[in-house]
Amino acid sequence: MATVVRRADDYPDPVVSWWSRRRLRFVLVLVLLTAFYSASWRLARVDPERLLTGLPKMAGWAAKAWPPATDELPVLLLRTGETIAMAAIGTTAAALLALPLCVVAARNVTPSMALYYPARWFLNALRGVDSFVFALLFVAAVGLGPFAGVLGIALHTWGSTAKLWAEAIENIPPGPLEAAAATGASRLKVIAYALVPDVAPSMVSVGLFWWEFNVRASTVLGVVGAGGIGQELKNSMDLLLFPRLLTIILLILVTVTVIDHTSEWLRRKLE
Amino acid sequence: MAAAQARVTPETAGNDIVARADGLTKRYAPDVTALAEVSFAVRPGEFVAVLGPSGAGKTTLFRCLTGLTRPDRGTVSIVGRDIWESPRELQLARRAVALIFQQFNLIRRLPALENVLVGRLAQVPAWRVVLRRFARGDRQLALRCLDTVGLLDRAYTRADELSGGQQQRVAIARALAQDAKVILADEPVASLDPESAATVLESLRSAVSTGVAVVASLHQVHLARAYADRIVALRGGRIVVDAPAARLDARSIEQIYERNGERNDP
């Protein structure tokens, strides 16, 4: 208190008292963060000792895994193809479904605010449920296989893509749309002619990102029985077929790298 | 229907007026009078400059003329249509009015020609707009409009690669392609350098020579005197000068600003 008074004499500035309040807040944040992390540490049951005993086991598997198994390569390639196909069909279906909805869910072009809010809620709900969870439900509904994965990817990506697209639409400058609307043109014409060229590159970029993301995501969808390379991954792990496991992991790495680079190259070409 | 049209047409032709404001009054709470009993009429082929200090009501006037702001009292008629009569009348009137913006408002990624074609959107079938397949006649009209503003050689240059002055001239070509009877321009040259401002105003001038009426708010008195046929000056929401530009000398126009300054001082 005394410090504050003396400093206030030198610098009659209210900032001084604000600084101590700020320091108080800083300490409070520090305490809360420490509490949060110590609670998380316990809830996650982090146990470095178990990791240390587990690591040699993994090293043993790695030694047993070499050389990778090649006898089942045709089947594994087919499963990899399934994975890419699931991602492609799922993402494309999601994009087609997202097209009309992103217009409704963009504040600046929505036909009515009465539709805007329900559209946003719906998209947030889709986005909130991971494709993995959707796939789990669809395996129960339509049976095992990649189709359940396609449906899972499509639903989650529908929400995510439409939301990002709506945000891209909301971020474009309003002037050109106003100018087009001021000529007496209908909303459809304004959107098709003045909005699309402005947002198309970023929309395609978002679409490519989700395709790439979904290829990575669908490598594990097989774990819940939704087809693709993930199913073989789980089988091999269950049966401790390490050389086969290594082949699968290498295939996933190659596929994801190729897709990532293709998508990145395509996105760069758009700019 | 025919009878109604027969009544409207001679009236507009007889009076020879494309845009008319009658007794426009607009107040903003609590006691700001943006417009007070503003009345004026614009004839085809007339270039009207609207002058006045900031806050004089210029922007409110333009917003009322384009149907963006509803006046408390008074009427606006464009080519004989009362724009506040019904949304349909406003929509039809808007086709006859072209707007020029201070910030040009071109679609950045499209070439100049396709920006000019925006002026045709209301007339062209929706499928053509969606597929971007305009009829040859529309494309040729757009090229002619670009030629009018002196940018034929820039037809295939992307809008964001043009200079500010060139972009504003593309916007004028867009207004011409709309086949509008009136071009309303709120501060069309306020964000341009003097040289670009001159070319833009010359383009508006050449539009006027084809029979279009132009109403433009301007900041610089000398530009108004050089390019406009008539000067309307607003102060405190009222028209204080409405006279042919040739009859006003620079000093009498500058008094619009001076008197306002004195009024604000105490």
Domain boundaries, chain A: 2-47, 71-270
A-to-B residue pairs, Cβ atoms closer than 8 angstroms: 71
Give the largest CA-CA distance in chain A.
Answer: 85
Nearest CA to CA, how far is A100 from chain B (Å)?
Answer: 14
Pick from B92, B122, B132: which is nearest to A183 by CB?
B122
Q: Across residues B13-29, what is the average pLDDT?
A: 81
Nearest-by-CA chain A residue for B185: A179
Q: Mean pLDDT for each 10-residue chunk of chain A (271 residues)? A: 56 60 86 95 89 87 81 87 90 93 90 91 92 87 86 92 93 88 86 90 89 86 81 86 87 89 85 68
pLDDT of residue B9: 40
ipTM for this model: 0.79
β-sheet with B19-28: strand ranges across: B32-42, B19-28, B73-78, B81-82
Which chain B residue is nearest to residue A271, measuring alpha carbons?
B109
Partners of A180 on chain B (C-beta within 8 Å) are: 107, 118, 121
For residue B258, the distance in angstroms to the closest alpha carbon of chain A comes to 34
- Cβ(B113)–Cβ(B173) below 8 Å: no
Q: How do the domains of chain B map onto residue ranges? A: 18-264
How many residues does this entry show for chain B? 266
Are A179 and B132 in contact (CB < 8 Å)?
no
Q: Is A114 on the interface with B (CB under 8 A)?
A: no
Query: If you measure CA to CA, which chain B residue comes closest to A179?
Result: B105
A3 at the B interface (CB within 8 A)? no
Nearest residue of B to residue A197, measured between CA atoms:
B109
Residues in B whose CB is inside 8 Å of some CB of A read 66, 91-92, 94-95, 97-99, 101, 103-110, 118-119, 121-122, 124, 126, 129-130, 132, 171, 174, 178
Q: Flag whether residue A185 sits within 8 Å of chain B, measured between CB atoms.
A: yes
* Cα separation, B89 vs B99, whole angstroms: 17
Q: Cα angle at B35 between B30 and B37, to 5 degrees?
A: 120
Residue A210: both structure tokens together = 């989700």
CA–chain centroid gap for A92, Å, is 16
Report the 3 state secondary structure along B146-210. Answer: HHHCCCHHHCCCEHHHCCHHHHHHHHHHHHHHCCCCEEEEECCCCCCCHHHHHHHHHHHHHHHHC
What is the C-alpha end-to-end distance of chain A, expressed in Å? 58
| Residue A191: closest CA among A117, A106, A87, A109 | A109
Chain B contact for A271 (CB, 8 A cutoff): no
Write down the pLDDT at residue A93: 94
Q: Among all residues of chain B, which has the CA nearest to that of A174?
A: B105
pLDDT in tens, B32-46: 888 888 998 999 999
Read off the pLDDT of each residue in B239-262 and give the average, rounded to a whole number: 72
Chain B neighbours among A 47-66 (CB < 8 Å)?
Answer: none
**Structure confidence at residue A161 (pLDDT):** 94
Averaged pLDDT of chain B:
84
Q: Is the pLDDT of residue B170 over 60?
A: yes
The fold of B18-264 is Rossmann fold (3.40.50)
CATH number for A71-270: choose from 1.10.2020.10, 3.10.110.10, 1.10.3720.10, 1.10.10.60. 1.10.3720.10
Of the listed ranges A130-144, B204-218, B237-251, the one predicted with least confidence:
B237-251
Q: To the nearest whole angstrom, how far is the Cα of B102 from the nearest Cα of chain A? A: 10
Question: Å from A3 to nearest chain B CA?
Answer: 47
Distance from first CA to last CA of chain B, Å, rounded? 58
Contact call for A183 and B92, based on CB within 8 A: no
For residue B50, the surrounding DSSP H or E stretch is: strand B47-51
A198/B91 touch (CB, cutoff 8 Å), yes or no: no
Cβ pair A184:B92 closer than 8 A = yes
The whole-number pLDDT of residue B195 equals 86
pLDDT reported for residue B62: 87
Mean pLDDT of B151-174: 91
Query: Is residue B6 predicted with pLDDT exceeding 70?
Result: no
CA gap B104, A187 in Å, rounded: 20
Sort A195 into a burial class: Cβ within 10 Å, 0-12 / 13-18 / 19+: buried
Q: Which of A103, A191, A193 to mutate to test the interface with B (most CBs of B within 10 A)?
A: A193
